[in-house]
Structure 1
Amino acid sequence: MTNIIEIEDLADKLDIGRRLLGIDLGSKTIGLATSDIGNSIATPLETLKRGKFGVNVVELAKIIEEYSIYAVVIGLPKNMDNSEGPRCQATRAFVRNMANAPALNGIKVCFWDERGSTMAVTNTLIEADVSRAKRKDVVDKLAAGFILQGAVDRIYDLRVTSGKIIEDEYDY
Structure 2
Amino acid sequence: MDPAGPREERRRSKKGCTSLEAQPHDLQRDGPSSRHFRPAQVLKYLGVDPGGRRFGLALGDDGNGLVIPVGIHPYRGIDETAAWLKTEAQKRGVTKIILGLPTSEDGEETPACRRTRALAEALADRGSNVALQPEFLSTHGARTRARDIGRPRSAPVDDLAAQIILEDYLAALGARSGPC
Unmatched 5+ residue regions in structure 1?
Answer: 1-14, 167-172
Taking structure 1 as the reference length, what is the TM-score of the superposition? Answer: 0.73
| Cα distance between partner residues in 2 of 1:141 and 1:131 | 14
The answer to whether residue 162 in structure 2 is matched with residue 144 in structure 1 is: yes
| Cα distance between partner residues in 1 of 2:129 and 2:101 | 15
TM-fit CA distance, 1:119: 0.3
TM-fit CA distance, 1:88: 1.0
Corresponding residue pairs, total = 141
CA contact 1:40–1:156 (8 Å) conserved in 2: no
Which 10-residue stretch deviates more, 20-29 or 64-73? 64-73
Letter of the 1:29 counterpart: R
In structure 1, what is the equivalent of residue 67 of structure 2?
A: 42
Q: Secondary structure at the match of 2:178?
A: helix
Which 10-residue stretch deviates more, 80-89 or 123-132? 123-132
In structure 2, what is the equivalent of residue 10 of structure 1?
A: none
| Cα distance between partner residues in 2 of 1:16 and 1:154 | 19
TM-fit CA distance, 1:128: 4.6
TM-fit CA distance, 1:127: 4.5
Letter of the 1:23 counterpart: V
- 1:9-88 superposed matches below 5 A: 16-36=41-61, 38=63, 40-88=65-113
| Cα distance between partner residues in 2 of 1:95 and 1:42 | 21
| Cα distance between partner residues in 2 of 1:142 and 1:99 | 25
TM-fit CA distance, 1:53: 3.3
Q: Secondary structure at the match of 2:131?
A: strand
Q: Secondary structure at the match of 1:44?
A: strand
In structure 2, what is the equivalent of residue 109 of structure 1?
A: 130
Taking structure 2 as the reference length, what is the TM-score of the superposition? Answer: 0.70
Cα deviation, 1:69-92, whole Å, max 9, x if unaligned, reads: 111111110011222121111111
RMSD: 2.0
In structure 2, what is the equivalent of residue 99 of structure 1?
A: 124
TM-fit CA distance, 1:96: 1.7
Letter of the 2:47 counterpart: G
Structure with more helix by fraction: 1
Unmatched 5+ residue regions in structure 2?
Answer: 1-39
Higher relative contact order (CA 8 A, sep 6+): 1
